[in-house]
Amino acid sequence: MPATSKKASTAQRSLALDIFRGMTVCFMIIVNTPGSETFSFAPLQHAKWFGLTPTDLVFPSFLFAVGNAMSFAMKKFETMSQGAVLGKILRRTLLIFVLGFLMYWFPFLREQNGHLGLSPISNTRIMGVLQRIGLAYGIAALLIYYLSRRAVLVIGAVLLVGYWIVLLVAGVPGADPFSMTGNAGYRLDMFILGPNHMYHGEGIAFDPEGLLSTLPAVVNVIAGYFAGVYIARKGKEYEGLTKLLLWGCGFVVLALAWNSVFPISKKLWTSSFVCVTVGIDLIFLSFLIYVIEFRNKKGWTGFFNVFGKNPLSIYLLSELLIVVLFLIPMGPDLSFADWINQVFYQALFPGKIGSLLFAISYMMVCWGVGKWLDYKKIYIRV
């Protein structure tokens, strides 16, 4: 049965993987919690619709890291019965999904007519970041466990090409198939989830982590898995590292070519977006392995290793704590988080610099909690 908290040995952990995952979580916190949405540097914002920014790399990189870690977990499955493996995969998928749903429902209560009452589930978002991670992990894990390597690769290619075809033929009639309200994913989410259960951050009901676009996201996990398997076999050799780097460049070239007919878009999670993010992840992971394993330069890794050892717990903390800070009133239409930003960060460093320093400071608070967990040898797993 999956545990939500345990003390674990770090003997079998991959340092390069922990650092890759830790840097992803660290950057994720910074881009998710600016001091002000108005004042934010362009690289710390998502692309409006088409295109790619450094911020757009965070989520797919986390999925890639999930797959990378899965390559080690699959070795443990070899000693377990099929029923035990299936139960573990399904329980983990469900737990991650439920944690994501509860995170969006938090703080569960709302004030109405001077009385506190339970926030209605009828207006709670169903899909989201953790929900997509859970589903993408579950689908990828089942494919990898039950099918051959060749079959998984073929299915991954089918998911990318099939998603492209579905968007082309099943969108809103007469509308741009790659537009926000004209694509097939939007139609499916509106039909199954309904507008009240979708994300409204774009000003309308549209979920960038919707049902249909979760399918190509599975490929990010699959790519991470096969990268992990390859690194375990060839990652200590210069030839192996060179091939990993070339594969990364190949995926980027494929993405740029595909972009001409199927534009790169994180919010639509297009197949070209999958390819370019997988390519960049392979290139960046190759660089980390070279620096950490080949050059043996590890002195700088301690900071990011804190995030890498407890990624899920620190991510949940970062999302829930900021909600609490925005709920604490400091005056009319002024929350505690706004107050800190205005009276300190914006007063000393007006504009984008102050907003960034707020985000970095908040990230350091989360790092402090992670450091304490690491000191106590507490590593939270699901």
- At 8 the pLDDT is 39
Is the whole model's pTM more than 0.85, yes or no? Answer: yes
Specify the DSSP class assigned to residue 98: H
Domain residue spans of the chain: 6-379
Q: Are 62 and 28 in contact (CB under 8 A)?
A: yes
Output the pLDDT for position 1.
31
Report which residue type is found at 99: L
Structure tokens at 359: 């985000």
**Which residue spans within the chain are E strands per DSSP?**
6-7, 109-112, 115-118, 329-331, 334-335, 378-379
Residue identified by tokens 């979920």 is 207
Please, what is the end-to-end C-alpha distance for the chain in angstroms?
9
Mean pLDDT, 10 residues at a time, the chain of 382 residues: 38 73 94 83 90 95 92 84 92 94 81 66 87 96 94 97 96 92 94 92 90 97 94 84 94 97 96 98 94 89 91 92 88 86 88 92 95 90 77
Point out which residues pair with 117 in neighbouring strands: 110
| Tokens, residue 24 | 């992803």
Q: Is the dihedral of CA 292, 56, 259, 67 positive or negative?
A: positive
Provide DSSP, 265-287.
-TTTT-HHHHHHHHHHHHHHHHH
E strand or H helix that includes residue 138: helix 129-146
Among 343, 220, 212, 207, residue whose Cα is nearest residue 274 = 220
Q: Give residue 60's pLDDT.
A: 96
What would the 3-class secondary structure string for 148-200 be? CHHHHHHHHHHHHHHHHHHHHHCCCCCCCCCCCCCCHHHHHHHHHCCHHHCCC
